[in-house]
Chain A
Amino acid sequence: MAVRAPAAAPVTLPRVLGPIRPRARWQELRLLALVAGALAVGSLSLGTTVTGRFGLQDVRGLAVYLGALLVAHVAQVLAGRRTDQVLLPAVAMLGGISLLLMERLPQDLVVQHFFGSSYGLADVQLIWLVGAIAVATILGIVVRSDSWLRRYKYTWAAAGVGLLLLTFVLGTEINGQRLTLEFGPISGQPSELLKVILVVFLAGYLSENRALLVEQDTRVGPLRLPPLPYLAPMVAMWAIALGIVVVQRDLGAALLFFGVFLALIYAATGRLSLVLIGLVLFLLGSAAMANLFEHVRTRIDVWLDPFADPLGTGYQVIQALHAFARGGLLGVGLGAGLPEVGGRPPIPEIHTDFPFAALGEELGIVGLVAILGIYLVIVQRGLRIGVAAADDFRSLLAIGLALVIGIQAFIIAAGNLKVLPLTGVTLPFISYGGSSLLANGLVVGLLLALSDKGVEPPPPPGTQSRWRRLGRSGAA
């Protein structure tokens, strides 16, 4: 597994970093300059609207953020890897929009205390944004081998389930949902990490059994179905995750896991029948849950007709729709929308669940389409990385990671727009929240690492099957 140091490399750092041979990333730099320009204009627009004087909003915050981007860029240049140059600017644009949004919302929506001083919404978000960029950059530079993911997929899966169980038992309840795990001053939502673990596991399992899943059939009478027994461990993993998530009332995560699960199975096998079976199971499961659980039924009722209870359960959704309506085609401008009632923003939980509606009001449909476009760019880069990867595991890992971002963005945007029932997942890179930002930074970091064709070659098939056998016997 040792990295062979090229003969020309004069300096050899510890093996994890490899030799330093700077490589310019002009495309990334140009795109980052574009991002910096756009954010400066946005900050100017926001500052001028809010203060009534011509000037930037929160110069320090913008400087810190753009500085972090520059450091990330320079670090990657110095590392000299041939990794993707579009992902970081795309993510940086979304993060910058997030920063502007958090700066214009009431700062007391979130107050955190670090080392004796307290920080408001935008300050905390800035810390997490810089953290996410750091995670992405460091992973993109450091990760040169995937064996730590490939080999231990069942260990990862077990760790993920364990984390969830731990949350369920020890977690802190917020708004009737037990999603948060607290250790002293540090708290986090494990389901954000779990989505990455899920993709790692699915990629590992599907890559090993892909040939079987594609070629073999289970015959039930005249029907030719995929080989169901080979799906069993995977479905079990999915069911455990889903079950816990449903018990924890985190419907958004359940929907996300399910969407990624189906999309990845289709990408791996190309068999529509698997997706159809999954959809039927999903509809049956949804109907059963709607009958069993009050909170699921409420969500669906609100989705079907939020105006039935405009001041109660439907309030949030209706106010979000009003925000889109006020924004119209061009939006009212950064800082000019979101009229406050009683000192509060018009939509409850606007910074975590409804940033899409907030941006819809201030940037209009034009802005929303641009933001959706940036998500599609990220997905497209991820899928490209996946298709070009050296083996099935890396392919499916990259495709899965890209889909996590895309599907999660779709779920929450669709919830804001009343296309789907509202579920509380975050809008990647835009919603407030450390867990979400760091987990998505992890996703981007892995995609960056996978995009480098110079990484360690995949292990030969023999070793892989040994691990597969071990893995399967371990899971049985």
Chain B
Amino acid sequence: MIGSEGTRRPLAGSTFHVALALSVAFAVLAGAAGYWGVIRSAELVRAPDDAAVIAAARTVPRGRILDRSGTVLARNKADANGELYRVYAGPAISQVVGYASRQYGEAGLERAYDAELSGLAGDPLTDAFAKFGTNRYDPKDLTLSISYDLQKAAVSALGKHRGAVVMLDPRTGEVLALASTPTYNASTIANPATSQAAFAALQDDPAQPLLPRATLGRYVPGSVFKIVTAIAGLGSGAITPATTYKQQPGAEKNGLLLEGYRVHDGHHPQTGSKLLDLVGATEVSCNIWYALTGLRTGGADLVDYAERMGFGSAIPFDLPTAVSQVTNGDGKEPGGFVDDVELANAAYGQAETFVTPLQMALVAATVANDGELMRPRLVASMTGQRSGTRTIGSQSMGRVIPVADAEAIKAAMVQAVEGPLGRLFTTGAKVSGVTTAGKSGTAELGGSGEPHSWFIGFAPADNPTVAIAVLVEQAGRGGEVAAPIAGRLMTRYLQGGQ
């Protein structure tokens, strides 16, 4: 350190300080690497915008979706870059399977089962070792309980109408068909080449084709809700199948005076001034009898029994469901009704009562399955290459009413389809050669528009294997539009050997 000019002021001290500062700065870098690489790692690598997650979605073949007989409903296709996109069997299934699109995310089962289909979901232990293997992901194929043939039949039966069909096996809760119209072609959304234009057009369509009406549409139920009232009345012990009301024949002519308001009826002159019981009132769809039954049952029990079947909360299901309601629930009377007028009207489905088609199918299934409700489900099994096949069993949502009560309602519903007067309301609902049970509904909307056309039912009545709910938006009377669709579809299912 001795320069030619003699003694130099040493640099070593200050240089050491600089070196120390730089070392501290580098230590900060190591600390930051630890922060992002360890502390924040788990959160970042699972984020949907992580490149590995996106790349896996494009390169790891997503699990297929199959119907109950093995028909492929959703499969993969490679684009020009070798990256994969989804192709679907057809528009009939779109409302169930949904879509998986790079631009617009997922909908339907593609969304609900995204983790299983993409193979990202698994148990942490297997995943930790999978990191070192060649196939890191274990995508699973979904096998649905749906019959694609029946689904297509349901969609074509609805035709140009807006509406929904829900068919399920009341014994197991397996959904056989879940149709909503209008539907859309999910393949156009999934295909990156057509995605943008297709999605924009669908979003702008006033018919709302992207809305799965069967699960997310909420409708005034009209007379199909009477089955709920019957369940609540019998289940709570407020009525028996033999219950009659003295004031019923008179009220049919003059209306039922409640708190200064008249509840009107009057569309079944065939029974004259006869006192009706459960079977008779159901056969001719007597509003007065059901209004009186609702009043006798009380709002609290009516809401309670409805909730046992899924009202008041989202139905536990593979797809998102809208909440069905008996009343708004902001009134002071028991059950949340505003007054007896609302309760009486709700008892025959014309107050602040809104239901999804799926919910009404569950009501029919409850009666069909002798009062016990099975959890509805779409996915029958999942099969992964590594994890094997897992079958999803049926699950009870609890007993709603005793068997005897269910039998009484069943008898009434059979009369509504097969009885001499009932036939007039449910033309075409009968499955030929099979005892059929059901109830039609004509939901008045209050305005000038046509009513919603409803039908719920099941067959064969003595040992039901299929329950159905059909809704057709603003199509007219239940017996004229919805009932024949239900009859055709149940016939197809029962005679198709499915």
Is A122 an interface residue, CB under 8 A from the partner? Answer: no
Name A395's contact: one of B11, B37, B40, B81 (CB within 8 Å). Answer: B11
B332 — which chain A residues lie within 8 A by C-beta? none
Checking B5, B18, B26, B51 against A376 with a beta-carbon cut-off of 8 angstroms, the contacting residue is: B26
CA distance A83 to B141 in the complex (A): 66
Contact B3 A379 (CB under 8 A): no
- CB of B22 within 8 A of CB of A332, answer no
B5 to A341, Cβ gap below 8 A?
no
- A391 touching B33, Cβ below 8 Å: no
Judging by beta carbons under 8 Å apart, are B55 and A341 in contact?
yes
User: Does B392 interact with chain A (Cβ within 8 Å)?
Assistant: no
| Min distance, Cβ A430 to any Cβ of chain B, angstroms | 14
A217 within 8 A of B: no
Check if B32 sits within 8 Å of A418, measured CB to CB.
yes
Name the interface size band of chain B. Answer: 35 or more
Min CB gap B10→A, angstroms: 8
Contact of B58 among A214, A322, A341 (CB under 8 A): A341
B28 within 8 A of A: yes
Name the residue on A nearest B81 (C-beta): A343
CB distance from B34 to the nearest CB of A (A): 6
Contacts of B83 in A (CB 8 A): 342
Count A interface residues, CB 8 Å.
64
* A360 contact set on B, CB distance < 8 A: 33, 37
In contact, A339 and B44 (Cβ under 8 angstroms): no
Chain A residues 377-432 with CB under 8 Å of chain B are 379-380, 383, 386-388, 390-392, 395-396, 399, 403, 406-407, 410, 413-414, 417-419
- Can you list 7 residue pairs at the A/B interface with Cβ under 8 Å? A322-B49, A325-B36, A325-B37, A360-B37, A383-B19, A417-B32, A458-B3
- Given known contacts A263-B22, A326-B51, what 10 new A-B pairs fall within 8 Å (CB)? A270-B13, A319-B51, A323-B51, A326-B41, A329-B38, A346-B55, A368-B30, A369-B30, A388-B1, A392-B3
Write the B51-62 contact mask toward A (1 if CB under 8 angstroms, else 0). Answer: 110111010000
Instruction: Report chain A residues within 8 Å CB of B25.
Output: 410, 414
Identify which of residues 453-476 in chain A touch chain B, using a CB-to-CB cut-off of 8 Å: 457-461
Expressed in whole angstroms, the minimum distance between the Cβ of A242 and any Cβ of chain B is 21
Which A residues lie within 8 Å of B26 (CB)?
372, 375-376, 410
- A321: Cβ under 8 A from any B Cβ: yes
Are B22 and A339 within 8 A (Cβ)? Answer: no
Q: Interface majority SS on B: helix, strand, loop or mixed?
A: helix
Contact of B58 with A318 in the complex, beta carbons under 8 Å? no
A309-328 contact mask (Cβ, 8 Å, vs B): 1 or 0: 01100000011011111111
- Chain A residues engaging chain B, CB cutoff 8 angstroms: 210-211, 214, 263, 266-270, 310-311, 318-319, 321-329, 332, 338-343, 346, 360, 364-365, 368-369, 372, 375-376, 379-380, 383, 386-388, 390-392, 395-396, 399, 403, 406-407, 410, 413-414, 417-419, 457-461
CB distance from B159 to the nearest CB of A (A): 41
Instruction: Give complex CA distance A418, B17 in Å.
Output: 25
Q: Across the interface, name the chain A residue whose C-beta is closest to B52.
A: A339
Query: Do B49 and A310 touch (CB < 8 A)?
Result: yes
Tell me whether B41 and A328 are in contact (CB under 8 A).
Answer: yes
The 8 Å CB contact of B33, one of A342, A365, A386, is A365
B50 in contact (CB, < 8 A)? yes
B153–chain A nearest beta-carbon distance, Å: 41
- Is B8 close to A, CB under 8 A? yes
Interface pair A263/B36, CB less than 8 Å apart: no
Q: B314 in the interface, Cβ–Cβ < 8 Å?
A: no
Is B4 a contact partner of A369 (Cβ separation < 8 A)? no
Please determine whether A460 and B29 come into contact, CB atoms closer than 8 angstroms: no
Closest to B56 in A: A339
| Docked pose: A468 CA to B17 CA in angstroms | 28
Contacts of A365 in B (CB 8 A): 30, 33-34, 37-38
Q: Which of B3, B29, B36 contacts A372 (CB 8 A)?
A: B29
B219 → chain A closest CB, angstroms: 39
CB neighbours (8 Å) of B4 from chain A are: 390-391, 457-461
Verify A390–B3 contact, CB threshold 8 A.
yes
Is B45 touching A368 in the complex (CB atoms < 8 A)?
no
The answer to whether A372 and B9 touch (CB under 8 A), given A266-B18, A268-B14, A325-B44, is no
Contact in complex: A387, B30 (CB < 8 Å)? no
Question: Closest CB of chain A to B495's CB: distance in Å?
Answer: 51
A326 touches B50 (CB 8 A): yes
Determine if B15 is an interface residue (Cβ-Cβ < 8 Å): yes
Q: CA separation between A461 and B33, bound complex, in Å?
A: 49
Does any Cβ of A come within 8 Å of B12's Cβ?
yes
Bound: A419/B45 CA distance, A: 20
Rounded to whole Å, the gap between the CB of B105 and the closest CB of chain A is 14
Q: Which residue of A lies closest to B55 (CB)?
A: A339
Which residue from A341, A343, A410 sits with its C-beta under 8 Å from B22? A410
Q: How far is A360 from B38 in the complex, measured between Cα atoms in Å?
A: 12
Which residues of chain B come closer than 8 Å to A417, judged between CB atoms? 29, 32-33, 36
Find out whether the CB atom of B49 lies under 8 angstroms from the CB atom of A318.
yes
B15 and A386 form a contact (CB under 8 A): yes
The answer on a CB contact under 8 Å between B18 and A268 is: no
The contact of A324 among B14, B33, B55, by CB within 8 Å, is B33
CA A332 to CA B132, docked complex, whole Å: 9
Give chain B residues whose Cβ lies under 8 Å from the Cβ of A368. 29-30, 33
B131 within 8 A of A: yes
Neighbour of B81 across the interface among A342, A375, A390, CB < 8 A: A342
> In angstroms, how far is the closest chain B Cβ from the Cβ of A340?
6
A395 surroundings in chain B (CB, below 8 A) = 11
A329–B37 touching, CB < 8 Å:
yes
A372 touches B30 (CB 8 A): yes
B56 CB contacts on chain A under 8 angstroms? 339
CB within 8 Å for A324 and B81 given contacts A388-B1, A417-B29: no
On whether A387 and B33 interact (CB within 8 A), knowing A329-B38, A339-B54, A340-B55, the answer reads no
Known: A321-B44, A407-B22, A419-B28. A270 touches B36 (CB 8 A): no
Q: Is B387 an interface residue (CB 8 A)?
A: no
Contacts of A346 in B (CB 8 A): 51, 55
